[in-house]
Every structure is written in structure tokens, then in C-alpha cells.
A = this chain, B = another copy of it.
């Protein structure tokens, strides 16, 4: 335990999940992390490159359902077969994180492990690395460390971490409490306080410390996962379907936070994807956008030319079997489109 293991950081990437917010480019069989939302490559590939600054392939683990294995191997040729941890069924993040940490602990019980989603954008990988190094040092001393995003607007769509003092990139500070998605007035107060950061679902801890805390506060997750690892059929399905935040982090001892100011974006909708594309000066070559500022074209690379005229702030999403055109301000309504396709029993498009 301690310095040596801690310098050997392990990384766990969470590549499960599914969603409807990026239809038609993302589908039930191809969730958001497999889509090139913010740049030319799928988000999971950007994530892999980013964490390669932190660890060699031998210490990078990916948790995902079996149906993503082929795609992960194609996209991440450096991913080692024995570092792919298969979730038998989706059970939210807590069982997946516990499963991966048990796998890491079996090889390197005292090691520090960092947990990252694979469907976020981080524009400044250098700053990201710096925050992670700070978090690793704090984790080596026993803390369960969250990376917290300093808010730049009073978002009501994220959970917040209320810290004992203003968080920093250079040292970990104690978390006082987890706050669920706040109302607008609370969000404005949090923004002014300087003590609140967004919970981005990125964690760094010693696996032994984490598993001990998890077993204490969430045995309904940990025990079925351990039985599953022993080969007990049906055990996985008994693990509680719950998020890692709710199941463990909100109840754990010695939870700390390190600030992350690295151009983080969780790319929550086509609106956000357009914002990122436009900011990157990439509205989608070779397309032809005539007086359509703030618009962007997303496609599966079929080589079609899209011409957009006098349509500012619109997302065009072009796939072989479905096309979406939506103003950025209406991006949330994509789920209504998906619901309508479900009503029409168009499983082929979902």
C-alpha cells in the first residue's frame, strides 16, 4: 500500500449506458460514447487518449455490457482483452463501479483507481491530468476523491458538491454534502458561494478504501457483485440498481473534492454538441451552411452534402435510415421523437 501502489494508477472507464438524447446518431445499440459528437472521433476514443496520459493500457479497465465488446475492441485497439469487465445487465453505475474495482483489487489491492465516464468532453487534457494527480495524492492518503467542476452558470441539471472551503486544483478539500439537482434560486446561490462544484461522476480512490466503504454503506450492491464474480448465476440481477453517487458517495466517510477546470462538458444534448462543434470551428465540412450561424451538421460519414439556408442554431443529424432537423433550443424534444417511433413500433430506428 502507499506510495508505490499509488504511483501505479489504475483507470476504470465506464462505457455502458444508453440514452435517447442523441437520436438518430446514437441508438440503443450505440450509445453516446460511441458517437463523434464534439469532434471527428467518438467520445470514448477521446477519453482513452486522455487517460493514456495517466496509465499504460495494462492499467486501463473498461466496464461495458457484452454487446459493446466488439465495438470497443475496434475503437480501442490498445484495450487488453483481460481489462474489459463485462456487465451482464445494466444495473446503473454502482454495480458497474464495484465490479470493476473488485477486478482491480484482485490484481492490485492497494492501488489507487480513477473512475471516468466515457461520454464527456474535456478540452484541456493537461489541466485534467493536473487535477487527477492532485486527486491521486489525496486518494493515496485514504480519501474518496471526487473531481468537481467549478460552475460557470447556475445549472439546475447537475448535482452539486457543497465543500467545506472553496475547492482547488492543487489540494483536496472536504465535501460537506451532496446536493441533488437544485432549483434555480439555489443554483444561483451555489454559483455565488464559491464552495459548490458540479458532480461530474469522476472519482479517485484506493480500491481497498472504496470497497470497504461500499461494503459498509451499500452491501445490497457489493455482496451480489461479489457472488457474481464467484460465478453465482443470477447474482448480478440481485445487485441494487442505483447510482454510485447515491449508493456510496453520499454516505461514505472522508469524501473530498479536487477542482477540475479543464473545459469539461457532459454534452447533454444536440444543443451542447452544436455549441462544441461551432466553438471548434467545425460546423461539419464539406457541408454548405448559408447564413446559418450556430448550426452544425452531424452525420455518419456517408459523404452526403447538406445545404442549410437561413437556419441559424439548428442541428442536422444525418444517418442512413433517419434524419433529424431540430433547432438547438428544442433539443430536449428529441425524446418525444423517440417515443413516437416507439409508438409506431419502429424498433429498426431505435
Chain B residue numbers with a CB within 8 Å of A314 are 311, 325
| Number of A positions contacting B (CB below 8 A) | 33
Residue of B nearest to A303 (CB): B321
A184 at the interface (CB under 8 A from B): no
Task: State in angstroms the CA–CA spacing of A1 and B168 once bound together.
Answer: 101
Q: At the interface with chain B, which of A109-117, A137-145, A333-341?
A: A333-341
B24 touches A337 (CB 8 A): no
Residue of B nearest to A23 (CB): B307
Task: State in angstroms the CA–CA spacing of A87 and B265 once bound together.
Answer: 61
The one of B304, B321, B333, B337 in contact with A322, judged by C-beta atoms closer than 8 angstroms, is B304
A305 at the interface (CB under 8 A from B): yes
A306 at the interface (CB under 8 A from B): yes
Expressed in whole angstroms, the minimum distance between the Cβ of A301 and any Cβ of chain B is 14
Chain A, 308-348, contact with B by CB distance < 8 Å: what is the 0/1 string? Answer: 11110010101011111111011001101100110000100
A306 touches B323 (CB 8 A): yes
A279 at the interface (CB under 8 A from B): no
Chain B residue numbers with a CB within 8 Å of A305 are 321-323, 341, 346, 349
Specify how many copies of this chain sit in the oligomer: 2
Task: State in angstroms the CA–CA spacing of A341 and B288 once bound together.
Answer: 9
B337 touches A325 (CB 8 A): no
Expressed in whole angstroms, the minimum distance between the Cβ of A304 and any Cβ of chain B is 6
B320 touches A325 (CB 8 A): no
B321 touches A308 (CB 8 A): no
Chain B residue numbers with a CB within 8 Å of A307 are 24, 322-326, 337
Expressed in whole angstroms, the minimum distance between the Cβ of A60 and any Cβ of chain B is 37
B323 touches A323 (CB 8 A): yes
A309 touches B290 (CB 8 A): no
Expressed in whole angstroms, the minimum distance between the Cβ of A271 and any Cβ of chain B is 12
B326 touches A311 (CB 8 A): yes
Expressed in whole angstroms, the minimum distance between the Cβ of A168 and any Cβ of chain B is 42
Chain B residue numbers with a CB within 8 Å of A337 are 288, 290, 307, 309
Can you show 18 pairs from A to B with CB atoms below 8 A apart?
A288-B337, A290-B340, A304-B321, A304-B322, A305-B321, A305-B341, A305-B346, A305-B349, A306-B323, A307-B322, A308-B326, A309-B326, A309-B327, A309-B330, A309-B333, A309-B336, A309-B337, A311-B314
Which 7 pairs from chain A and chain B are nearest by CB? Answer: A310-B330, A309-B326, A307-B337, A306-B323, A307-B324, A305-B322, A309-B333
